[in-house]
Amino acid sequence: MAAATILIVDDEPTNLFLLTGLLRPEYLVRAANSGESALRAAASQPRPDLVLLDVMMPGMDGYAVLARLRENSETCDIPVMFLTALAAADDEERGLHLGAADYITKPIKPAVVLARVRSQLQAKQARDWLRDENSFLEAEVARRTTENDLTQIITIRALAHLAETRDPETGSHILRTQGYVRQLALGLRRHPRFVDFLNARNVDLVTRSAPLHDIGKVGIPDSILQKPGKLTAEEWEIMKTHAKLGSDAIEQAEADAEQPVAFLILAKEIAHWHHEKWDGSGYPDGLAGDAIPYSARLMALADVFDALISLRVYKAPMSYEQARDIIAAERGRHFDPDVADAFLASFDEFVGIAQRYRDSAEARHPTG
């Protein structure tokens, strides 16, 4: 390990000579004979590990030097020991109050100086180790958090795509609807009715959860899910069960977790209730108005808009403007009025998201 560097600051050449001779056998010693030169030395390399600072110097005294060292981010953590002929208790108290690590009166006792220097250097070494260890731990926590977030996102996408393999017409539906939900959340985050729910954390969580809205479709028979024509009344009742199938599957995943997972709570709400309508005519539970969770209200509009503009074997895609007009007409019936207003206010952004994630088949059938 490299020897510690000590900066001695004293305007008396005799004191500099004495202290240098005492410390040089064990340490790298630098010297300064004024406050101004001490500040330059402290800020240059090699940065001192400890400063032995005389108090009574012409021009800038030791107290002023200490104050300047503490103001500089590059030198504020260097421990300073005052060496002074001022032996009164008030003088020592003042020095310690200003941030000195120790206070030694002159004439110095070599054994005492050496012992206190070692003590201060050991304390600094421990602080440096702890700081480096904390920095490492913080970096490791940040790395693992990023890795966990990425794993979570990939897992959600994988599950959502698994559902899409059963319903091949949906294509990039999950990417588009996720973008729509985020856009709605951002547009409503300062609205008085939504401000408590749509904090930064929940905006992120509801966006992450959105791709799982139709996960329950994996439990719907192919004969119904992939039927090209209109469903019979009996088939439609079976199709509607995908909402509860999805929330049940997420609830089982929750039960397996050792502690609550926030995004699963919202994912379960979205899967279960994204087909509810503001006027109570939706499914599976016929919820109305504010009884419908916020997350499901956002997903409801995002899902319908994408269905309207998307190509299906039984229909051509609507234009963006047609879809906009239908949603505007359903304000207060199918959709929360404020959610519909947020959509209308950010219609251009919705169009941009739709075009960014357009399926190749839909690209041959322009909707705008």
Summarize pLDDT for 187-237 with one digit per residue, the tens. 999 999 999 999 999 999 999 889 889 889 888 888 888 888 888 999 999
pLDDT at site 227: 84
Alpha carbons 47 and 203: distance in angstroms, whole number: 46
Alpha carbons 102 and 114: distance in angstroms, whole number: 13
Half-sphere exposure (Cβ direction) of 25: Cα atoms closer than 13 Å: 4
Q: Walk along the chain (368 residues) and give the pLDDT tens digit of each residue.
A: 678 999 999 998 998 999 999 999 999 999 999 999 999 999 898 899 999 998 888 889 888 999 899 898 889 889 999 887 776 667 667 767 777 888 888 888 889 889 989 999 898 888 888 887 877 777 777 777 666 666 666 666 666 666 666 565 555 888 899 999 999 999 999 999 999 999 999 999 999 889 889 889 888 888 888 888 888 999 999 999 999 999 998 888 778 777 777 778 899 999 999 999 999 999 999 999 999 999 999 999 999 999 999 887 667 899 999 999 999 999 999 999 999 999 999 999 999 999 998 865 444 444 54
pLDDT at site 366: 47
8 A C-beta contact, residue 285 and residue 276: yes
Half-sphere exposure (Cβ direction) of 123: Cα atoms closer than 13 Å: 13
pLDDT at site 85: 76
Alpha carbons 153 and 155: distance in angstroms, whole number: 5
8 A C-beta contact, residue 83 and residue 53: yes
8 A C-beta contact, residue 343 and residue 355: no
Q: Which residue has tokens 């107290």?
A: 63
pLDDT at site 149: 67
Q: Residue 241 CB: number of other CB atoms within 10 A?
A: 16
pLDDT at site 363: 46
**pTM for the predicted model, two decimal places:** 0.61
Decide: residue 298, CB within 10 A, 0-12 exposed, 13-18 middle, 19+ buried.
buried
- The answer to whether the bond into 110 is cis (omega within 30° of 0) is no
Cα separations (Å) of 316 from 224, 231, 310, 312, 353? 20, 18, 7, 6, 19
**φ, ψ for residue 203, nearest 5 deg:** -60, -45
8 A C-beta contact, residue 216 and residue 249: yes
8 A C-beta contact, residue 48 and residue 75: no
* Strand residues in the chain grouped as ranges (E): 5-9, 28-32, 50-54, 80-84, 102-105
**φ, ψ for residue 315, nearest 5 deg:** -160, 155
pLDDT at site 173: 86
8 A C-beta contact, residue 117 and residue 50: yes
pLDDT at site 130: 83
pLDDT at site 91: 64
For residues 342, 315, 173 and 281, what is the CA-based torsion angle, rounded to 10 degrees? Answer: 50
Joined together, the tokens standing for residue 66 give: 């200490």
Joined together, the tokens standing for residue 205 give: 């969580």
Alpha carbons 345 and 188: distance in angstroms, whole number: 11
8 A C-beta contact, residue 49 and residue 8: no
Joined together, the tokens standing for residue 332 give: 């207060």
Provide DSSP, 23-64. Answer: HTTTSEEEEESSHHHHHHHHTSSSPPSEEEEES--SSS-HHH
